Structures are given as C-alpha cells and as structure tokens.
Structure 1
Amino acid sequence: MNEIIMQNILSPVVLFFLLGIIAAIFKSDLKFPNGLSEALSIYLLMAIGIKGGIELSHYEIHSVIAPVLGALLLGIIIPLITIFVLKLLKMDLKNSIGLAATYGSISIVTYGAAITFLDKNGTSYEGFMNALVVLMESPAILVSLLLLKIIESKQDVSVFPSQSMGIISRYSSLLDKEVLRESIFGKSILLLVGSLIIGLILGERAVPMVKPLFMDLYNSILILFLLNMGLIAGQRLPEVKKHGIKLLLFGLLMPLLFGSLGVMIGELVGLSLGGVTLMGVLAGSASYIAAPAALKTSVPEANPSIYLGLALGVTFPFNLIIGIPVYYELAKWIH
C-alpha cells in the first residue's frame, strides 16, 4: 500500500498539484488567466465526454444496464447519507444541502487522475466508465435540491434510499424551471452529455479527428489544470480551517465511506478491477464545477467557502494523494 501511495504522490499530476498548493501558501504571484482556466475546464469536459461516447458505442445496451443503475443509485444514496451525517454535526440546512450536492456529484479531474493511475499500473477498465461520469454528475444535485424543497415544505425528511424514488416522483413538481435548467443544462453537464452523444453517434469514425487533441494531449493538459487547481485549493485551505475540526474530518472521512460504498456497488454490478476502482473514485470524489454552478443559483444562502473549500481544499488533494490508491487496494481485496 505504501509503495502505491508513494508512486501516486510522485506522479506528474500530483506533483504539479502540490506545486500549486505551495505557490498559494507562500503567496506566489503565479496565477492562470481566467480565460485559460475556463478553456482547460471545457477541454477536460469535452475530452472525457467524447471518449466515453466512443467507448460506449462498442457495447450493447444490455451489458451496461447494471453499471448505469449502480451509478444512479450512488447519486441518490450519497446525498441522503450526507444530510444525515451533517444533521448529527448540527450543520444548518442550506450548507448541508450544499455539501450534499457537492459530495453526491463527482470530480472529473479526480476521475482523470485515477485513469492515469490505472494506466500506469497496467490495470484495464471498462470503456463505458467515462459514460458513468456523465450519469453521476447531476442526479445528486437534483436529489439535494429536491430534499431542500421537501424540508422547506415541512414534509417528512426521514428519507431512506429505498424510499427516495417515490419521494422524488411525489415532489418533482416542487422544482422550478431555474433549478432544472442549472442542474441539467449547466455548462458541465451540457458539455459532458453533448460530447458523449456525439462520440456515441460517430463511434470510431470520430477517432482520426479527435485523437490528436482529446486523447494524445489529455494527460499533459490535465497537468496544467491540476497546477491551477493546486493554486485554488491552497487559497481555500484557510477558509476550511475557520469552520472547525469536525468539518475538516468530514472532508477526510466521508470520501473513504462513499468510496468504499462505490467499490462495493461496482463489484455487485460486475465491473472489472479497474471499473470497481473507478466506481469507488467517482463515489468518493466531490464536485467543484457542476454542483457549485447549480448551488450558486438555486441555494445562494449556502456558503461557497464551506462546500467549495472542503471539495477543493481537503477532499480533492486527499483523493489525489491517498484516496485513489486506497480505493484501488480495496477493490483488489473485494474483487
């Protein structure tokens, strides 16, 4: 285990991320132009989406139904567990919803780093895992916002996973158009879903055109993005510390709980070792793109320094350095 963790720490993507954190801590004048930062985000979203669509085109629908259902189940269960834990920690409602949406959704960059980790270890995984990234991006956001509407309507909030689908159906009318628009047609989900569909329609015909940019250069551009994420995460660390040790422990321990849950569900739906690992990574990660974009409009009272600070300043580096190898070892043990 120690060898795997050290191997992950000494990979270029992690080292450049740590370089960004160091630059932020020591207040270096290093910074990325806003336009470049936005362009890198768009690139990663398109790259993962189109690669997922191309890979998904190789599979029959019946072979991906179980993994898809497993991914959707995680998107429903994780926000419910998060709300329950935060209630025990006496967190206020709006910030609890913000963290439920953030931790229920996924980190595309953590997923990309996990793919690099698996490739380095020679571990194969199902090509349609990229498609599951798209599927796990929005359900948790919708579930979290639904829970907010339910709680605010003074209905029964003692929600368990087995009841969640019925409650979603019952209260779907509570969602307004703006919530739906931000959750489904926000930049992240639109690019992921759109690129996935394009890749699915074109299949292998798209490879000659997209390979030079979206496949060959992917890992190199991921390094640039992680350097920028390191700068942002380093700036967010003081904000997280202001909210006490309980919140810090939440950002460190919940990924392990959710990642373990993802590994178990990945095994139950019949994924390979690499697929089980990636399911754990997705479940254990936290969103800092799609969820914050939706929360900014739908739950403006939620404090971004809490949900974004934890996701970027604590959970993201934890997963990048320790979480990915832990999920891999857990997947090996279960598989």
Structure 2
Amino acid sequence: MDSFITIVTTLTVQLQKPTLAFLLGGMMLAALGSRFEIPQPVYKFIVILLLLKVGLSGGLAMRDADLVSLAAPALAAVLAGIGIVLIGAATLARWRGVARVDGLATAGLFGAVSASTLAAGMAVLDAEGVAYEGFIGALYPFMDIAALVTAIILGRISLARASATTAGGGTTLALGNGTAGIDTGVIREILADTFRSPAISALILGLALGLFADTKALYEGFYELLFRGLLSILMLIMGMEAWSRLSELRKVAHAYVVYAVTAPLVHGLFGFVLGLAAHHLTGFSAGGVVLLSVMAASSSDISGPPTLRAALPEANPSAYVGASTGLGTPVAILSIPLWIALAETVIGL
C-alpha cells in the first residue's frame, strides 16, 4: 500500500511540474479547438536559445572538472548514451505497429539525461552521506549529446530508406543535388547533415563556448533566467502537435507503456556496469557509479524534446514525450534506492 501511495504521489508531482503541465495544457488547447498559435520563426528562435543554454551549461561544468579524472567516466557516459539508443532500436523501434522513427526518437530521449532526476539522485546521496566526484554534472553533456545524435542519425537513415523504398529506388536515394548509395553515400550525407543541423550545431557551439570562452556571467544573467519560461512555451507547442497525432498511437500505446516502465531499470543496470568498469580502472567512486546509473535510467525533459522536435520533425511528440516524462521519469526516480543498494552490495559505500 505504501508503494502504491508513493507511485501515485510521484506521478502527481510530475503532472504538476512545468514540463508535463504545459505539455498537457497544449493538448487541452488543441482538444478544445483553440486557435492559439506560435509563429514558426518565434518557435525556431526559442529552440536555438534553449539548446545554446544546454550546451553552455555543459561546457561550463567541464571547465571546472579535472579532465584526467573525467576521462573514463566521460567515456562510460558516451557509451551509455549510444548503447541505450541501440537497445531501443533493437526493441521498441522494431515493435509491430510502432513507427521506427517514433521508436528511435523515444530511445533518444531515454538515452539523454534528466537534470531533475540527476539532482534527485545527488540529494539522496547527500542525505545518506555518500561521497561522489564534483565533476558528475560535467558527464551530463557526454551522455546527452551521444544519445541524441545517435537517435537522430538512425532516425534519418530509417526515413531515408523508407523514402527510397516508397519511391521504388531500390538501393539509391536522391539527396540534395545528387544520388548516393543507401549504405555509404547517404549515410555519410546524413552524418554531415546531422552535425550541420541547427539543433546539434547549437548544442555543440554552446558546449565549445562554455568550455573555452568567458561566458559564465552571460549564462547566468541571460540564458539561465529565460530558460524555464521559454521551455514552457515550447512544451505548449509540442502538446498541441501531440494531440493532433495522438490517434496514431492508439493501437500501440501498450508498447510505449511496457518500454517506459522497463527501460529505466535496464538502462540503469547498463550504466551501473559501465560505472563499475570505470571504478575498477580509475577508482571512480561508488557514489559516482550510483549517479551514472541514475543518469542512464533517466530520460530527458529539457534538452531532448526541442532537439528531437527540430532534427526529427517526422517523429510523434506524443510518443516520445509521453513515454519519457509521463512514465519513464517516475520509474527512474523510484529506482534510485535500487542503484544505491546495488553499489553497497557490489562495491561498498
């Protein structure tokens, strides 16, 4: 009974948080036939500002980190982000009836990191008196960008192949002004185009500026102050779009429920194994291993949605945001004691 009350309470808290509340608000506006609209240029400007902020925060965190000690955990974070997307590509994205691009976008969001879940994990460890490295926050962009870029690349390759099949193109596909082989030239073009895309370019530029330029005052005085408000507007837009595409999910909603409930546990375990490897190689702390597991179990509610919306507009936001924020986040938060118990058993806290 206590567990049930805890789950209900956690879900209620998530519904009250701005990310999900504004998403649901947008869905309500669309359901009521409202003519509310955000002009497309304004939407694009908001997305760029949000992604620059996320990149800057990661770069600033890396500046304060011990880069030698950071190397192994950072590699583990990158592998976790990529691996989680590949797990989703082999499971949810192959589920009968699930659009592959929707499954890959969802996997990308689950591979990226929730700052609120990471903060919750840190708070729990602080309360337990468990030490962890001060550079943990700097691992955020490594896992985040690795997962999102992997999901976007796989999603665009999938769309390219689907387009070639529909057009009867067999093994070729026109891209830009030329034609490329589906397994070589097209993939190279997609890789280059992904890194040139506004979303990924803004993330990487923000990361570089935060790391190498004196941007802390600008970040704190402009980007951080505007961030939550701009994110709420973005979630309204995504909520309205999600409602218009909700009918696409009715036949496969169970697939997303199963994935959202089980994925945080599988991903957290994957992150724990990678963190354990870093522990044995470099002495990465037990608390750090727990937080890497928490990051892997979490799903993005900040950087992920705008990045995917900009880079994979074909993907259905009601699939990836609903599965992530609606179900994945509560499960990830509730699993934090599991990673602590596992670290205590395997490593010793």
Alpha-carbon spacing, 1:48–1:291, altered in 2? closer, same or farther (3 Å): closer
Residues 55-89 of structure 1 deviation map (CA, whole Å, 9 limit, x = unaligned)? 01111243243343343344245335534555562
Shift of residue 29, structure 1, vs aligned partner:
1.3
Contact 1:259 1:284 in 2 (8 A): no
Contact 2:234 2:306 in 1 (8 A): no
CA RMSD after TM alignment: 3.7
Contact 1:74 1:262 in 2 (8 A): no
Is 1:106 the counterpart of 2:116? The answer is no
Is 1:75 the counterpart of 2:113? The answer is no
In structure 2, what is the equivalent of residue 62 of structure 1?
69
In structure 2, what is the equivalent of residue 11 of structure 1?
17
Is 1:278 the counterpart of 2:295? The answer is yes
Alpha-carbon spacing, 1:283–1:276, altered in 2? closer, same or farther (3 Å): farther
Is 1:137 the counterpart of 2:137? The answer is no
Distance 1:172 1:118 in 2: 38
In structure 2, what is the equivalent of residue 51 of structure 1?
57
Residues 114-162 of structure 1 deviation map (CA, whole Å, 9 limit, x = unaligned)? 434665897389221431212222124445667888xx9x9xxxxxxxx
Residues 80-103 of structure 1 deviation map (CA, whole Å, 9 limit, x = unaligned)? 553455556277xxx53x245423
Distance 2:121 2:216 in 1: 25
In structure 2, what is the equivalent of residue 264 of structure 1?
269
In structure 2, what is the equivalent of residue 167 of structure 1?
none
Distance 1:239 1:142 in 2: 23
Amino acid of the residue matched to residue 316 of structure 1? Answer: V
Please say which of residues 250-259 and 79-88 is displaced more in the overlay: 79-88
- Residues 32-181 of structure 1 correspond to what in structure 2 (within 5 A)? 32-59=38-65, 60-76=67-83, 78-79=85-86, 81-83=88-90, 87=94, 89=96, 95-96=99-100, 98-99=101-102, 101-106=104-109, 111=113, 114-116=114-116, 123=123, 126-132=136-142, 133-142=144-153, 173=184, 175-181=186-192
Describe the SS at the equivalent of 1:127: helix
Residues 219-256 of structure 1 deviation map (CA, whole Å, 9 limit, x = unaligned)? 22222222222112112212333xx2xx2222232233
Please say which of residues 26-35 and 80-89 is displaced more in the overlay: 80-89
Amino acid of the residue matched to residue 73 of structure 2? Answer: A
Of 24, 39, 47, 2:30 maps to: 24
In structure 2, what is the equivalent of residue 319 of structure 1?
324
Distance 1:30 1:326 in 2: 33
Contact 1:74 1:283 in 2 (8 A): no
Distance 1:107 1:78 in 2: 8
In structure 2, what is the equivalent of residue 207 of structure 1?
216
Contact 2:118 2:291 in 1 (8 A): yes
Shift of residue 22, structure 1, vs aligned partner:
0.7
Alpha-carbon spacing, 1:15–1:38, altered in 2? closer, same or farther (3 Å): same
Distance 1:25 1:62 in 2: 51
Distance 1:240 1:186 in 2: 28
Structure 2 residues without counterparts, runs of 5 or longer: 1-5, 127-133, 171-181, 276-287, 341-349
Contact 2:120 2:333 in 1 (8 A): no
Contact 2:22 2:235 in 1 (8 A): yes
Alpha-carbon spacing, 1:11–1:287, altered in 2? closer, same or farther (3 Å): closer
Of 210, 220, 234, 1:225 maps to: 234
Alpha-carbon spacing, 1:85–1:52, altered in 2? closer, same or farther (3 Å): closer
Contact 1:118 1:274 in 2 (8 A): yes
Amino acid of the residue matched to residue 183 of structure 1? Answer: T
Contact 1:50 1:197 in 2 (8 A): yes
Shift of residue 215, structure 1, vs aligned partner:
1.4
Contact 1:49 1:131 in 2 (8 A): yes
Is 1:186 the counterpart of 2:197? The answer is yes
In structure 2, what is the equivalent of residue 248 of structure 1?
253
Amino acid of the residue matched to residue 35 of structure 1? Answer: P
Describe the SS at the equivalent of 1:30: coil
Structure of larger gyration radius: 2
Structure 1 residues without counterparts, runs of 5 or longer: 155-170, 297-303
Distance 1:88 1:16 in 2: 29
Describe the SS at the equivalent of 1:251: helix
Amino acid of the residue matched to residue 135 of structure 1? Answer: A
